[in-house]
Structure formats: structure tokens, C-alpha cells
């Protein structure tokens, strides 16, 4: 039972080198036992050969392999193999070491594959609507930004996240998984209505049924073995000719839109807000390319320490570049390339960062196809900012840490955007005083 990968892969936190290569080998017919054994050996040896730290962070990788290899005999299907391999990789306690499987079973019985157009933010046990896509089933049902979710299919938020709440994970990682899970479940499937119960601000609780549609968002082009992603791009001008721009992945499909927006802003905008909240990353080369549209001189965005040598990420000024104030928004779901981009411009003094500390998963990675049919994502280097700060596990700390309150969420106050606008206004006043 080998299902195709779903287009919107939910488990991958993306990050690549300048050339996103995937390595693959052609296999003839293999028995299940042979495929599992070869998959195990490929995972273990790849880590052994590519890990940049010979001490593996103080862990004995050979002993770890010897501990897990005998357990292969008990792996009776691909699901059990994935659990085994992932458990071994978890011993490294690093991001971007994952087994991505189209054979994984979700932890609940709720249908997937639909689209309601809702985006939820999870804050201290509550889930609020922070975005409603235009023309989506959620908008047609009358759901608004600021509404608090009470339940899905009569299951409370507490019940929906119970299994994640029990896991032994850092609070930041746990909140990320909970928010991602709620946003998956709220999309529903395409063959059954989804019942939702809400607490609108200053109103009685409402029960709303929605019929999710098939997800019609644009798909990114596949890179190597990486499945396509559902991508989003949004731009609009706010007060005082401030360009607001949001995108959810660093993928080539969006580069022309991003470039056109910034080049246009160079002629008419007074400032740019780049919203990377819930942006899971993507091609590292795009971060350097976008930074080149924002800097007036070569700018170092950080260094990647490899097993042999290192690689420096550099942004070079481009002809049509924007020289006004730049604000970058991040939160606990900003990861990988988003973190590198935000931290690099922050340390260079080119952008001011607003929001919540990022996820702290910033290791560039590659992919391999395993004989089992699964994908293996593995990190190939350790990223540090130009000043030597390690984002992995620590995250990017904003210049202005802003955690929205319940009241602000209900009143639809986008705190990071509001504060970024006020900061830009102060910048203009200071420039006028200086002149």
C-alpha cells in the first residue's frame, strides 16, 4: 500500500544549500527485509559521513547505531521502520534529521486534504483566527479574524491537543506542533462537512458547519525528491505608503513576485514590512537573493560550518534595491531560512525584527530517497550568524519581543505590524530632525 506523497507536506522544515541536490540510487527488486536493512544502513552511514562535528555533540553515533540495528527485526511494516529510524535520529537532538513518509498515520481520525482558508494561532491553551483567505469556505461561513475556536467536531481544544501536551518537548517546540496540528485539523477533508464551534468577541457561542474545498493554492516546483508545497504570497500597501509583504516558503516560484514588489517599492514605498511568521523556510539561496534587493553594500548573512571547510552566505547589492527602513516579523513558527534571513539582516543593522522568538531549527539539509520508499532529510552543516550566534535550539530573538494578549487577538490588533509602523514613523521623524 504505497500512496503518493501529498502535495502539502506537513512535516518537512525546509532548508537547502545553494544547490538543492537530492541523492538517489536505482534499486532492483528488494524483499521487505532487504529494503529495511539497506534503508537503515543508508541513514546511519549518511549521518556518519556528512555530520560536521566529529564528536556528534558528545554522542557516540556508532554505539547508537549498534543499539538500534538489532531492533530492525521487530519492524514489520514501514510505519514501524519510520518510527525506528526517527528514534535513532532523535538521539542527535538536532533539527532537519527526519524520515518523511507517505505511509505515516496521523494521530487522530479526522480527514485531511481539504481547505477552509483558516489560519489559527495557539496561545496559552487558546486558538484564535489570525487569517481568513478571501473567497474561502471560512469567509463564506462568516468566520472572522479574532474569533476564538471552542471545538472541532465537538472536541475541545484541550482534547485536540492532549496527545501533544503530554510529550516531553521544549515548550516552544510543543507549541509549534500543537499549532500545526490544529491548523491541519481545521482544514478538514473534501467529502464531509466540518463542524466548528466559536466564541466571537462579545457574542454568544456560535456553531458553524463548513464544507472544505480541495486545496487550490499554487504548488511550488519540486526540487529533487522534495514534494511540492502549497505556497502563498500577499502584498498590499498600508498607511504612509508602507509595503506589507508575506510569503510562507522561500521557493523559486515566488521569487519573481518578491523581486517585483521590492523593485516597485524602491520607487514608491516609504518602508517595507516582510512578514515571515509561520514561514518554514526553503532555499537558502533565495535569502541571499532577497537581501541583495535591500542592501547597499555586500552583506554577510552568516556562515555554514561543514565537515570540510565552511560556506559564507553573502547578499550582494542589486540594481533596483530598496534603501528605506525594513521591518521583519517572526514568531514561533518561523524556521530555517526564515531565521537565517531575519538574523542576518538584524545583525547587519539593515532590518529591525519584531514579534516572538523563532523556532530555532536552522540547519541546512539535503534529501535522499530510501529503498523503503521514504525520504530521508539530513543536515549537512551548522549555521552561525556573522557574530557567531547559533540559532539552532536558541532561535532568533526579535529586537522588539511582542507577544499578543488575548484582548489584542480578539480585537484584531496585529501587534507586530502596529509596532513596526510606529518604529518607521519614528525613523522618519529622526531623519527630518537630522536634516
In this predicted structure, what is the pLDDT of residue 343? Answer: 97
What are the tens digits of pLDDT across the range 76-135?
Answer: 999 999 999 999 999 999 999 999 886 544 556 677 889 999 999 999 999 999 999 999
Question: Which residues lie closer than 8 Å to 75 by C-beta, 6 or more apart?
Answer: 36, 81, 84
216 vs 390: CA distance, rounded Å: 38
Instruction: Pick 66 or 222 by higher pLDDT.
Output: 66
Location of C-alpha cell 523556532: 359
CATH 2.30.42.10 domain locations along the chain: 114-214
Q: Residue 235 to residues 82, 247, 272, 376: CA-CA distances in angstroms?
A: 40, 9, 10, 35
CATH 3.90.226.10 domain locations along the chain: 233-365+381-430
In this predicted structure, what is the pLDDT of residue 112? Answer: 81
pTM of the model: 0.89
Q: Is the pLDDT of residue 1 over 80?
A: no
CATH 3.30.750.44 domain locations along the chain: 22-100
Mean predicted confidence (pLDDT) in 17-44: 71
Residue 87 DSSP SS3 = helix
Can you spell out the DSSP letters for 110-122? ---SEE--EEEEE
Please choose, from the candidates 378, 369, 367, 366, the residue with its C-alpha nearest in 3D space to the C-alpha of residue 26.
369
In this predicted structure, what is the pLDDT of residue 113? Answer: 85
The answer regarding whether domain 233-365+381-430 maps to CATH 3.40.1160.10 reads: no
In this predicted structure, what is the pLDDT of residue 26? Answer: 42
- Supply the CATH classification number for the domain 114-214: 2.30.42.10
Mean predicted confidence (pLDDT) in 415-420: 97
Of the candidate ranges 28-42, 50-64, 206-220, the one whose mean pLDDT is the lowest: 28-42
In this predicted structure, what is the pLDDT of residue 312? Answer: 93
What are the tens digits of pLDDT across the range 142-177?
Answer: 999 999 999 999 999 999 988 887 777 888 899 999
Please choose, from the candidates 123, 81, 116, the residue with its C-alpha nearest in 3D space to the C-alpha of residue 99.
81
Topology, domain 22-100 = Transcription Regulator spoIIAA (3.30.750)
Which ranges in 248-355 belong to alpha helices (H)? Answer: 252-268, 284-291, 337-347
The pLDDT-based confidence of 31 (bands split at 50, 70, 90) is: confident
Amino acid at each position: 500500500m504505497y500512496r503518493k506523497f501529498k502535495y502539502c507536506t506537513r512535516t518537512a522544515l525546509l532548508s537547502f544549500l545553494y544547490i538543492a541536490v537530492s541523492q538517489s540510487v536505482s534499486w532492483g527488486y528488494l524483499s521487505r527485509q532487504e529494503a529495511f536493512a539497506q534503508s537503515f544502513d543508508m541513514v546511519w552511514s549518511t549521518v556518519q559521513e556528512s555530520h560536521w562535528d566529529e564528536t556528534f555533540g558528545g554522542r557516540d553515533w556508532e554505539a547508537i547505531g549498534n543499539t538500534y540495528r538489532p531492533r530492525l527485526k521487530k519492524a514489520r511494516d514501514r510505519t514501524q521502520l519510520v518510527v525506528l529510524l526517527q528514534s535513532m535520529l532523535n538521539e542527535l537532538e538536532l533539527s532537519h534529521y527526519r524520515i518523511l513518509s507517505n505511509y505515516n498515520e496521523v494521530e487522530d481520525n479526522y480527514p485531511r486534504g481539504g481547505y477552509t482558508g483558516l489560519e489559527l494561532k495557539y496561545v496559552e491553551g487558546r486558538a484564535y483566527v489570525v487569517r481568513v483567505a478571501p473567497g474561502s469556505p471560512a469567509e463564506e461561513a462568516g468566520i472572522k479574524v479574532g474569533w476564538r475556536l471552542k471545538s472541532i467536531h465537538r472536541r475541545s481544544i484541550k482534547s485536540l491537543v492532549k496527545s501533544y501536551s503530554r510529550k516531553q518537548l521544549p515548550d516552544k517546540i510543543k507549541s509549534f506542533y500543537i499549532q500545526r496540528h490544529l491548523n491541519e485539523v481545521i482544514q478538514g477533508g473534501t467529502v464531509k462537512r466540518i463542524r466548528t464551534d466559536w466564541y466571537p468577541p462579545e457574542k454568544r457561542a456560535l456553531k458553524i458547519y463548513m464544507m472544505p474545498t480541495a486545496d487550490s493554492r499554487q504548488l511550488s516546483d519540486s526540487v529533487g525528491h522534495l514534494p511540492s508545497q502549497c505556497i502563498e504570497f500577499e502584498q498590499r500597501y498600508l498607511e504612509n505608503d508602507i509595503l506589507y509583504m508575506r510569503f510562507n516558503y522561500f521557493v523559486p516560484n515566488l521569487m519573481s513576485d518578491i523581486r517585483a514588489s521590492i523593485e516597485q517599492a524602491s520607487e514608491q514605498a516609504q518602508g517595507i514590512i516582510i512578514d515571515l511568521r509561520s514561514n518554514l523556510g526553503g532555499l537558502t539561496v533565495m535569502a541571499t537573493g532577497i537581501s541583495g534587493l535591500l542592501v547597499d553594500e555586500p552583506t554577510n548573512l552568516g556562515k555554514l560550518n561543514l565537515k570540510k571547510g565552511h560556506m559564507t552566505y553573502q547578499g550582494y547589492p542589486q540594481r533596483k534595491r530598496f534603501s528605506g527602513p525594513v521591518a521583519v516579523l517572526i514568531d514561533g513558527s518561523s524556521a530555517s531560512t526564515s531565521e537565517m534571513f531575519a538574523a542576518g539582516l538584524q545583525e547587519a543593522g539593515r532590518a529591525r525584527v519584531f514579534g516572538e522568538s523563532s523556532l530555532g531549527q536552522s540547519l541546512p539539509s539535503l534529501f535522499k530517497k530510501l529503498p523503503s520508499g521514504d525520504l530521508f532529510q539530513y543536515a549537512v552543516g551548522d549555521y552561525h550568524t556573522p557574530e557567531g550566534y547559533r540559532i539552532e535550539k536558541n532561535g532568533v530573538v526579535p529586537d522588539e519581543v511582542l507577544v499578543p494578549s488575548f484582548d489584542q487577538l480578539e480585537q484584531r490588533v496585529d501587534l507586530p505590524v502596529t509596532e513596526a509602523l510606529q518604529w518607521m514613523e519614528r525613523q522618519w521623524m529622526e531623519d527630518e530632525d537630522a536634516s
